[in-house]
Structure 1
Amino acid sequence: MNAPARAPQPLLEDFPYRLSDNVRFADLDPNQHVNNAVYASYFETSRVMLVKDPRHGLMPSGLSWVLVRLDIHYRAELHWPGTIELGLGISKLGRTSATFSQVVFSEGKCVASATSTTVMVGLESRQPTPIPDAVIARFQPWMLHHSTAT
């Protein structure tokens, strides 16, 4: 039986939303590399920075986004000290959900990638709510540039 083909390495330039962050000493585990659980906070940082920035208009009054799924692919160890580049692109918009492709790069290398899905909910009802057309239109600049595998 043949081994499965490796997924292609994501390219940072395929992700329209990017920001930098620092690896913190507190991110390390006893093996002296970034703990696997910390990556969820790196991915959260890029999602939250995008959707909560009022300039982007992705948080209508009375509505909010709730994370419902996070699939992480760990690709390489990450160490302290260092700077990381976070990349994000929308890979799919549903009736009530947005699916993000996300990456963490260090020194030009993808060290982790993820697919995350958030659902728009009413603040009072806490139930899934259709994404308003205006929000769908505002997501367009953040759509993934290519069919980058995460």
Structure 2
Amino acid sequence: MNAAARHDAAPRLQDYPYRLSDNVRFADLDPNQHVNNAVYATYFETGRVTLMKDRSLGLMPPGLAWIMVRLDMHFRAELRWPGTIEMGLGVARFGRTSVTFDQVVFSQDRCVASAQAVTVLIDEITRKPAPLTEDIIRNFAPWMRRGIDRA
């Protein structure tokens, strides 16, 4: 199932069904006194891993693991310390062995960064890609991103 992203508007937090909050840390800053670009990859990772490693959701069956194969980030505004962030995540599409996520970081009701992340399901022993099962796809259903065309 593939989905086209809506390009007519800035990201809206309400379109991302999985959310969690975090603090901006002083250690996240660079010499320009804003959050360093590399730190955003950690913010996005926190959102994905917190969702996918929750065994009760059935997104990571025994013997399988998810690996990151692509992360495209868009930096939209400076983020400074101190502060809090709201991270949002939604599934954008499924491949044969992959799940693509759309992700955002918001601060003070403003999107400061967005990303698209592609993860591939692999067999933990062979390290080869494993096909998504109907159960995995069904278990991701609550986390489908809103506001995109699934035609």
Q: TM-score range by the shorter chain?
A: over 0.9
Cα distance in structure 2, aligned partners of 1:93 and 1:104: 22
The code of the aligned residue for 2:62 comes to: S
Cα deviation, 1:41-93, whole Å, max 9, x if unaligned, reads 00000000010012211010000000000000000000001000000000001
Cα distance in structure 2, aligned partners of 1:96 and 1:116: 14
Aligned residue pairs total 143
TM superposition outliers: structure 1 runs of 4+ over 4 Å: none
Secondary structure of residue in 1 paired with 2:46: helix
Secondary structure of residue in 2 paired with 1:105: strand
Cα distance in structure 2, aligned partners of 1:112 and 1:7: 17
1:8 CA drift (Å): 2.1
CA 72–7 in structure 1, closer or farther in 2 if over 3 Å, else same: farther
Correspondence list, 1:24-39, <5 A: 24-39=25-40
TM-score (normalised: structure 2): 0.92
Correspondence list, 1:27-106, <5 A: 27-106=28-107
Cα distance in structure 2, aligned partners of 1:75 and 1:30: 19
The code of the aligned residue for 2:101 comes to: F
The code of the aligned residue for 1:58 comes to: L
1:124 paired residue number:
125
Cα distance in structure 2, aligned partners of 1:134 and 1:62: 15
Cα distance in structure 2, aligned partners of 1:26 and 1:35: 9
Aligned-CA RMSD value: 1.2
The code of the aligned residue for 1:103 comes to: V
TM-score (normalised: structure 1): 0.93
Unaligned runs of 5+ in 2: 1-6
2:116 paired residue number:
115
The code of the aligned residue for 2:52 comes to: V
Cα distance in structure 2, aligned partners of 1:120 and 1:76: 32
Aligned-pair identity in percent equals: 62
